[in-house]
């Protein structure tokens, strides 16, 4: 019986579902790409998948137990998380799923913990020789502007630019999750996201920088692949990242006047802008199929298309529903 692949918390990841479907289509092996969501009937990715599963909310204490039951009942071989909030929980239970022959394609919990806590991410960058914006105490520092964001936040939620002491509202100081960093202006910096693929041995196999031209709700809406010499040293610094597995996305700023790099965050999952890297030739889904279904080794890939621009727009999925 074929073993299948599951996209967890699939939401709107229609293209990711279709990329995996294409990766399996050439093999004619009967593998299905399934999608899971709390409300699969309202998830466009679930409707695009070969089938879908309903999971509890991530906050539900039975979430992991139920997800494991669904994976076993539906012959899941590989399950791929797509959102930040369940990464650590899945990483902590990776061995439990592995005991049942199910690969949770998530990085090790120590690395996930460092990526999910922006205070620890600064230390992670430093260990790899990459600078980050300085963390400051706004009660003691007078250098503005600053940027305030939750240490475990994502998608630009609860992000604040503090341009002067007048913007330093008490509610910001009282929010125990907010951390304050030096603000890097977009007038002086270009912002990049880098899609990175790490194999089973945590060795970097692909490195695709994407210039973030425009974003919407924290996700890139206009972007361009760029082979930027200033990032060559970064690729060398992350040739091996202990505990990394599958797709990771790195965000950084590059100062336009001198090319100085400032690491911002690392997300150990597929990023929302990954379709641009895929269309440029970086076929991470095909490599996942090769590694985790066929036990093949992946060669380093750098032949992706330079200066390919993506201009995103809204599309829709229509579903006929009973009254």
Between 141 and 145, residue with greater pLDDT: 145
Cα separation, 68 vs 98, whole angstroms? 10
pLDDT greater than 80 at residue 218? no
Note the pLDDT of residue 2. 64
Note the pLDDT of residue 107. 98
Note the pLDDT of residue 278. 98
pLDDT greater than 90 at residue 255? yes
CATH of 4-106, one of 3.40.109.10, 3.60.10.10, 3.40.50.300, 3.40.50.20: 3.40.50.20
Cα separation, 320 vs 122, whole angstroms? 48
CATH class entry, domain 112-130+186-311: alpha beta
Cα separation, 77 vs 101, whole angstroms? 7
Note the pLDDT of residue 321. 75
The single-letter DSSP state of residue 86 is G
Note the pLDDT of residue 269. 97
Q: Quick count: other Cβ atoms within 10 Å of Cβ 193?
A: 26
State mean pLDDT over 232-250.
96
Q: Which residues pair with 211 in a beta bridge?
A: 192, 224
Note the pLDDT of residue 1. 52
pLDDT tens-place string over residues 191-210? 999 999 999 999 999 999 99
Stretch among 15-19, 128-132, 218-222 having the lowest mean pLDDT? 218-222
32: Cα within 13 Å, side-chain hemisphere = 16
Put residue 15 in one of left, alpha, beta given phi > 0 → left and psi -120 to 50 → alpha: alpha
pLDDT tens-place string over residues 40-79? 999 999 999 999 999 999 999 999 999 999 999 999 999 9
**Whether the Cβ atoms of residue 305 and residue 233 lie closer than 8 Å to each other:** no
Model confidence band, residue 132 (pLDDT cutoffs 50, 70, 90) = very high
State mean pLDDT over 260-265.
96
Cα separation, 171 vs 194, whole angstroms? 34
pLDDT tens-place string over residues 272-290? 999 999 999 999 999 999 9
Cα separation, 226 vs 193, whole angstroms? 10
**Whether the Cβ atoms of residue 87 and residue 112 lie closer than 8 Å to each other:** yes
Looking at the chain, how many residues does it have? 323
pLDDT greater than 90 at residue 242? yes
pLDDT above 70 as % of the chain: 97
As a whole number of Å, the CA-based R_g of the chain is 20
State mean pLDDT over 92-119.
97
State mean pLDDT over 263-278.
96
Note the pLDDT of residue 85. 92
Cα separation, 3 vs 75, whole angstroms? 5
| Every domain of the chain and the residues it spans | 4-106, 112-130+186-311, 135-182
Note the pLDDT of residue 203. 98
pLDDT tens-place string over residues 164-191? 888 888 899 889 999 999 999 989 999 9
The model carries a pTM of: 0.94
Note the pLDDT of residue 27. 63
Integer CA distances (angstroms), 180 to 64, 118, 159, 242, 264, in order:
34, 10, 10, 28, 13
Q: Which residues contact 169 (CB under 8 A, 6 or more apart)?
A: none
Note the pLDDT of residue 170. 87
Integer CA distances (angstroms), 174 to 137, 139, 271, in order:
13, 11, 31
């Amino acid at each position: 019986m074929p073993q299948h692949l599951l996209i967890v918390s699939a939401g709107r990841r229609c293209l990711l579902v279709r990329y995996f479907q294409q990766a399996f289509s050439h093999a004619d092996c009967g593998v299905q790409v399934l999608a899971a969501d709390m409300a699969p009937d309202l998830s466009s990715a679930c409707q695009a998948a070969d089938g879908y599963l309903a999971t509890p909310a991530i906050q539900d204490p039975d979430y992991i137990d139920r997800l494991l039951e669904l994976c076993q009942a539906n012959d899941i071989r590989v399950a791929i998380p797509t959102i930040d909030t369940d990464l650590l929980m899945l990483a902590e239970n990776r061995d439990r799923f592995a005991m049942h022959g199910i690969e949770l394609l998530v990085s090790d919990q120590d690395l996930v913990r460092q990526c999910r806590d922006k205070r620890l991410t600064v230390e992670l960058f430093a260990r790899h020789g990459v600078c980050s914006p300085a963390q400051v105490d706004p009660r003691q520092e007078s250098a503005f502007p600053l940027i305030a964001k939750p240490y475990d936040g994502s998608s630009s939620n609860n992000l604040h630019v503090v341009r002067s002491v007048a913007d330093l509202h008490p509610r910001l100081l009282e929010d125990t999750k907010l951390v304050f960093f030096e603000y890097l202006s977009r007038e002086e910096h270009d912002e990049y996201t880098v899609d990175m693929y790490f194999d089973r041995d945590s060795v970097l196999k692909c490195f695709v920088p994407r210039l973030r031209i425009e974003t919407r709700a924290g996700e890139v809406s206009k972007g361009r692949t760029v082979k930027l010499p200033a990032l060559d040293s970064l690729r060398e610094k992350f040739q091996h990242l202990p505990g990394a597995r599958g797709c990771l996305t790195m965000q950084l700023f590059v100062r336009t006047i001198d090319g100085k790099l400032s690491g911002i965050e690392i997300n150990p999952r597929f990023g929302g802008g990954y379709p641009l890297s895929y269309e440029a030739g970086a076929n991470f889904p095909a490599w996942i199929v090769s590694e985790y279904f066929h036990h093949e080794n992946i060669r380093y890939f750098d032949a992706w298309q330079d200066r390919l621009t993506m201009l995103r727009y809204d599309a829709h999925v229509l579903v006929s529903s009973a009254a």
